[in-house]
């Protein structure tokens, strides 16, 4: 039987004072595909996330997180992952009310 290991890919983070009305990239593009990821909004404002920097993907309320698993209940013969070269982006839901603390973070696992 092949050994399956879950390993994390480098944490990407964006501090509260970098969030605004337009999308900002969370770190660099991913050089590897990943199977699931954990996104945290550790700011005191609602943050919007995007996978392309143009279209809204999902909102995260204040001090919350979302975990997304691309391979839930799939065996090793299935390979549903995110594309190499992908980058996550974040912006404020209400840019007229900026956060005063925290960050947004994404941790990905392959």
Average pLDDT over residues 24-36: 83
What is the per-residue pLDDT for 55? 95
CB contact at 8 A, 88 and 51: yes
Is residue 88 within 8 A of residue 50, CB to CB? The reply is: yes
- Give yes or no for residue 48 having a pLDDT over 70: yes
CATH number assigned to the domain comprising residue 58: 2.60.120
Is 2 inside a domain boundary? no
Q: How far apart are CA 82 and CA 35, in angstroms?
A: 7
Q: Which helix (H) or strand (E) holds 39?
A: strand 36-41
- The upper half-sphere exposure of residue 2, i.e. CA atoms within 13 Å in the direction of its Cβ, equals 5
**Closest listed residue to residue 56, CA positions, set 29, 23, 78, 8:** 23
Q: What is the pTM of this model?
A: 0.82
In a domain, 99, yes or no: yes
Q: How many domains does the chain have?
A: 1
Q: Domain limits at 91?
A: 8-109
Asked whether residue 62 is domain-assigned, the answer is yes
- Quick check: 73 pLDDT over 70? no
Q: What is the pLDDT of residue 1?
A: 44
In a domain, 1, yes or no: no
């Amino acid at each position: 039987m092949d050994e399956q290991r879950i390993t994390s890919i480098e944490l990407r983070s964006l501090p509260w004072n970098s969030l605004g009305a337009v999308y900002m990239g969370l770190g660099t593009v991913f050089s590897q595909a990943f199977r699931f990821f954990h996104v945290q909004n550790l700011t005191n404002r609602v943050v919007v996330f995007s996978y392309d920097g143009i279209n809204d993907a999902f909102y995260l309320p204040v001090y919350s997180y979302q975990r997304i698993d691309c391979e839930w209940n799939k065996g090793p013969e299935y390979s549903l992952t995110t594309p190499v070269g992908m980058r996550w982006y974040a912006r404020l839901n209400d840019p007229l009310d900026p956060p005063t603390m925290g960050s947004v973070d994404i941790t990905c696992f392959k």
